[in-house]
Structure 1
Amino acid sequence: MTVTTTAPPPSRRTGPRPADLARHPVSVAVLAALLALGAGILLVVAAGADPATAWAALDEGMFGSSYAVGSSLNSAAVLALIATGFTVAHRAGLVNVGGEGQLCAGGTAAAATGLALPAAVPGAIGVPLVLLAGFLGGAAWAGIAAWLKVRRGTSEVITTLLLNFIGLGLVSVSVHEAALLRQPVTSSETLPQSAPLPAGAQLPLIGGAESPATAVVIIAAVLALCVGAALRHTATGVRLRAVGHSPAASARLGLPVARLEGGSLAFAGGLAGLAGAALVATAPYVLAENFSSGYGFSGLVVGLLARGSLTAVAAASLLFGFLTSGGINLQLAAQVPAQTVQIVQSLLVLFIAAAMLITHRRTRSGS
């Protein structure tokens, strides 16, 4: 009699494979950060500075004082507002690259509203009005691209990109023309900018007299939490996700595709406009030429890095916000160009994008 034996089944892995760990977004981000840091060190050495001195200056600019931390938090909050709006539009399948123009439109609307208020306006009225004006200004600016998208089928990437330049020009005209927002001439140092906002239209401080951190930090955190909950747990969030996956299938199911696409883009512009209002309502409380400082484009980068996660939006905003503040002190204390930090940020984005592309291709080839 022949006895047949069966081999025991192969043991199953109980934990993640090394290849899966290497492709994990956190692993990719850490590796990209190390590569970007290495490139930054090389740039510091090329500039003739000591890496230890440069690191001390960067650390001092980010965490060395209450002022440094407060300034970094303000920058992070502005970036988080823009990136949160980008995430909402991206959930509907749209790419909003017009954060800079929407920020400028919101800042201009906020400045015009604040300067129209009486000098003795209470903060309980002035601050909400200024922030609301900024939100509506940014939403209206993005609404132009939204209308062209849903009515004419024009790519929102092109329209929002082009509207950036018009928004920047709008600020320039507003602060140069006496009939608009230009401050009356008192000295060469006051131009080109508007008059300061009244005290009742200025954002209150939250970190004490030594810290410039304002209420925008709380506003950005609350909005990010609310938007994240809405996208995850409400019917609107499900509908936006459905439209983002397939507008045609969503239309066949009866979803208002045009309204969802247009509304998400307008809301993204509103949050960018709110960020612009926050910049105007923070010291020195004026609308000045180039006041946006490229926050709109940096917020776009944060949104792209976050890949739809509001938790990642918060983390990336804090990283970029603190790096921006540290870069200023890097130039002052270590004589290293502040653009070095911008180069490191750009390299970080490129490295993460390249790593994601490589791992995606390996996954497809292995399947």
Structure 2
Amino acid sequence: MLAAGVVGLLLAAGAGAAPAATVTALWEGMFGSDYAIGASLNVAATLMLVAVGFTIAHRAGLVNVGGEGQICAGGIAATAIGTTLTGAPAIVTLPAVLFGAAAAGWLWAAIAAYLRVRRGTSEIITTLLLNFVGLALVLLVVHEPALLRQPVTSSETLPQSEQLTAAAHLPLLGIERSPATIALWIAVLAAMATAILVRHTALGTRLRAVGLNPDAAARLGVPVQRLRFLSLSSAGAFAGVAGGLLVATAPFVLAEGFSSGYGFSGLVVGLLARGSLSAVVAVSLLLGFLVSGGINLQLAANVPASTITVVQSLMIVFIAGAALWTTTLRTSAPPSPSTAATAAAGEPR
């Protein structure tokens, strides 16, 4: 992470910004105001949900890189429900919006899960390709008047959906002059519930067995393919909820680009957390503030906000390199004297 941060500073310097100005702009974007903090918390909640889903799939030995497409599916479903379910109270409308988003994300990931367990197709390829389909679907529904586009009243009408009904809006946390919503508490509760599931239940033990050695798990009677299907589709459900939270937060519309690369950033969180749900919460907060700070980086220091994306990409590369390096060291290291003595004592004479 430190190495990626240094590269980010060098890129900012290449764009003409002094290191001090870059750090100041980043800090102001993260913590400079109540609004900045609230926006960062909302971003962190989205990343957290995607990363929780990634962790569940990874527990079963699968890699979900389709968070972006699953967010799109969840956002489309949430918008369809939130713009048509009028007249119902918030206690009905908001849960319907979020459950609809979860169902859409679950179904979207179930496509890749089915191909994985039935055809052996790599879930990395299918979930990655489904991202592009999901992004294209968002473009379709917000540009097509017969679908979700708001009524065209003039040439200045934007290609986006109508606003969700007021009953579908997420309540604010109550921080003065802050857009922070209860999305953060939803994400934290999801992480806590998932941690209990994977660490203290029989289902969590079975998932870990499937991830460590599916062949041995199958010999013990564990339904390997069923658990793989459920783990990957559940990852889609969490990402779908993230999409629902995005459209249920101001400005309460579905528009092209609304997912903003959160699926990719959530993948970074999952990789950095390395299976720990408490680390998912911490890293989500870190990257949530970084993403928000990157926006101010462009406004205040004229450094492209995509610099943060480059830093996140480098984190993935460095994590993969570190994992390969430690694995190589482990396999090439000579056995310790006690290990050698134990092995010698066990050899037949």
- Same-fold call, TM cutoff 0.5: yes
| CA-CA distance at 1:207 after TM superposition | 3.4
| CA-CA distance at 1:153 after TM superposition | 2.1
Kept in 2: contact 1:121–1:201 (CA 8 A) = no
How far apart are the structure 2 equivalents of 1:354 and 1:157? 19
What residue number does 1:327 align with? 294
What residue number does 1:355 align with? 322
What residue number does 2:61 align with? 93
| CA-CA distance at 1:187 after TM superposition | 4.1
Kept in 2: contact 1:91–1:241 (CA 8 A) = yes
Residue of 78, 81, 84 corresponding to 1:116: 84
Mind listing any 5+ residue stretches in structure 2 that lack a counterpart?
335-349
What residue number does 2:338 align with? none
Kept in 2: contact 1:139–1:270 (CA 8 A) = yes
Mind listing any 5+ residue stretches in structure 1 that lack a counterpart?
1-32
Kept in 1: contact 2:51–2:269 (CA 8 A) = yes
Amino acid paired to 2:270: G
Equivalent pairs, count: 334
What residue number does 1:48 align with? 16
Give matches, 1:155-304, under 5 Å: 155-304=122-271
Q: Residues 78 and 52 of structure 1: is their aligned pair in 2 closer, same or farther, counting only changes over 3 Å?
A: same
Kept in 2: contact 1:83–1:313 (CA 8 A) = yes
- Give the alignment's TM-score, normalised by structure 1: 0.88
RMSD in angstroms over aligned alpha carbons? Answer: 1.3
| CA-CA distance at 1:357 after TM superposition | 2.1
Q: Residues 154 and 353 of structure 1: is their aligned pair in 2 closer, same or farther, counting only changes over 3 Å?
A: closer
Kept in 2: contact 1:121–1:198 (CA 8 A) = no
Kept in 2: contact 1:110–1:131 (CA 8 A) = yes
What residue number does 2:341 align with? none
| CA-CA distance at 1:189 after TM superposition | 4.7
What residue number does 2:303 align with? 336
| CA-CA distance at 1:188 after TM superposition | 4.5
Q: Residues 83 and 190 of structure 1: is their aligned pair in 2 closer, same or farther, counting only changes over 3 Å?
A: farther
Residue of 10, 16, 26 corresponding to 1:58: 26
Give matches, 1:28-39, under 5 Å: 33-39=1-7
- Give the alignment's TM-score, normalised by structure 2: 0.92
Amino acid paired to 1:171: V
For residue 162 of structure 2, give the secondary structure of its aligned residue in structure 1.
coil
How far apart are the structure 1 equivalents of 2:79 and 2:135? 15
| CA-CA distance at 1:313 after TM superposition | 1.1
Q: State whether structure 2 residue 147 is matched by structure 1 residue 147.
A: no
How far apart are the structure 2 equivalents of 1:350 and 1:188? 45
Larger radius of gyration: 1
For residue 73 of structure 1, give the secondary structure of its aligned residue in structure 2.
helix
Q: Is 93-102 or 357-366 further displaced after alignment?
A: 357-366
How far apart are the structure 2 equivalents of 1:319 and 1:151? 38
Q: What percentage of aligned pairs have identical amino acids?
A: 63
| CA-CA distance at 1:136 after TM superposition | 0.3
How far apart are the structure 1 equivalents of 2:21 and 2:272? 30
